[in-house]
Structure 1
């Protein structure tokens, strides 16, 4: 909103309008910009998601390539919301008969752009921060699918298990596990040895763990070595 609009709407002077916008900005209610103000969250959530998407792009591509190596013909695949998982569609083989399911707006877009697979977007309320479908609707809809392989990332992993950042993640991740024959967790080295508020998966729950650097000994000893897959370039880092 421009300063002129504020003056007209509030019938105030220019100086009063400026002082009020400064107060609002100081209280983190708005962001001041050239000629006016905008809401704090109007662009920041999308910008934050895009920043995460662009961060460590090459590492995410290598993780995606390793994930694709697990896919066989005629599979129903679930892609969970994650900037790491969103790198997978560009490497999916064109000729395989696959059905993709996701709750992510961006992954659905990538699937449509990069593949000719049948793609299903779970329905429900949109979450602007994660750019995904959230709430009870996608949870119920997942019950219709017998997933061959599910790709997920995580907020952290340590010797006690695999963590997520939000309480609402618990039900969704648990349901994905129930509906999936193979559960694949993909994360880069920055999430290793990090714990978060909500532990969801034990190491017995997962079928493969893909990462880009050699795991610390204390952690690798907790996971069946046949489940750990390293990207080719980073196997011995």
Structure 2
């Protein structure tokens, strides 16, 4: 059995069991410990499983955060479309919060030709790209960096963000429904809440796959958001209810 087939088999087992010991999984897979370890490492890099002490757990959309390298490949064309619309809000001499999401990172190419920008972010990859632009004064928050998330999080990061006031906040979310926007990680939610609170205008960037999906942590009510930018028209009932509170663009 080749590696791809083994990994597909591992995921099939985890979809039924959700969590399993590595010893039992090794017996079910009829493979060596080293072979199983290599496959599990690859699946964890892709954000599909979480390895623990002697066990493997299936990651679910409701309560776990996918690693950045996996998120950046999701709905890429939709994210590019969202970034193009969001770019119409950009002007010279702005201060801008950009969260660590792969969606918000799509705005980076639109910043290169503007003048005298101040960017504050908790996104490591976003900061790395922006560091190549000489028209930007860049601030990267400190904090704890969880494996693979591309995010600086925690109290240090939140307190750092609270030192700034920005013209614009560009943030994404893990899901949204008619009641508001959600995050799968409370630490991510707290950083984004600080960005919303400390900005004049907040743009919520969310592709169509995020709609009608709730998660454990409430990120924001729509009266905290100035505009939702997405890639396809939301369902009519969502438009009718939410457009009374904030603008929706697609």
User: Which TM bucket (shorter chain)?
Assistant: 0.7 to 0.9
Corresponding residue for 2:16? none
Corresponding residue for 1:75? 94
User: What 5-or-longer segments of structure 1 have no aligned partner?
Assistant: 1-21, 231-237
Task: State whether structure 2 residue 238 is matched by structure 1 residue 219.
Answer: yes
Cα displacement (A) at 1:159: 0.9
Q: Equivalents in 2 of 1:186, 1:82: separation in Å?
A: 10
Task: State whether structure 2 residue 114 is matched by structure 1 residue 95.
Answer: yes
Instruction: Determine helix, strand or coil for the equivalent of 2:222.
Output: coil
Instruction: Determine helix, strand or coil for the equivalent of 1:123.
Output: coil
* Number of aligned residues: 206
TM-score by length of 2: 0.73
Task: State whether structure 2 residue 248 is matched by structure 1 residue 228.
Answer: yes
Q: Do the aligned residues in 1 keep the contact of 2:120 with 2:161 (CA within 8 Å)?
A: no
Instruction: Determine helix, strand or coil for the equivalent of 1:221.
Output: helix
Corresponding residue for 1:23? 23
The runs of at least 4 aligned residues of structure 1 exceeding 6 Å deviation read none
Q: Equivalents in 1 of 2:118, 2:43: separation in Å?
A: 33
Cα displacement (A) at 1:73: 1.8
Instruction: Determine helix, strand or coil for the equivalent of 1:54.
Output: coil
Rate the CA distance shift 1:121–1:164 in 2: closer, same or farther, 3 A.
Answer: same
Cα displacement (A) at 1:49: 2.4
CA distances 1:21-48 after superposition (whole Å, capped 9, x unpaired): x838639xxx9556x9459458834664
Rate the CA distance shift 1:37–1:190 in 2: closer, same or farther, 3 A.
Answer: closer
Q: Do the aligned residues in 2 keep the contact of 1:94 with 1:115 (CA within 8 Å)?
A: no
Corresponding residue for 2:52? none
- Given the alignment, which residue of 154, 163, 169 partners 1:135? 154
Task: State whether structure 2 residue 165 is matched by structure 1 residue 173.
Answer: no
Pairwise mapping of residues 152-171 of structure 1 onto structure 2 (< 5 A)? 152-171=171-190
User: What 5-or-longer segments of structure 2 have no aligned partner?
Assistant: 1-21, 48-66
Corresponding residue for 2:68? 49
TM-score by length of 1: 0.77
Cα RMSD after superposing both structures: 2.7
Computing the radius of gyration from Cα coordinates, the structure with the larger value is 1
Q: Do the aligned residues in 1 keep the contact of 2:69 with 2:148 (CA within 8 Å)?
A: no
Corresponding residue for 2:129? 110
Q: Equivalents in 2 of 1:144, 1:138: separation in Å?
A: 10
CA distances 1:161-201 after superposition (whole Å, capped 9, x unpaired): 11111222332232222211111100100111111112221
Q: Equivalents in 2 of 1:33, 1:208: separation in Å?
A: 50
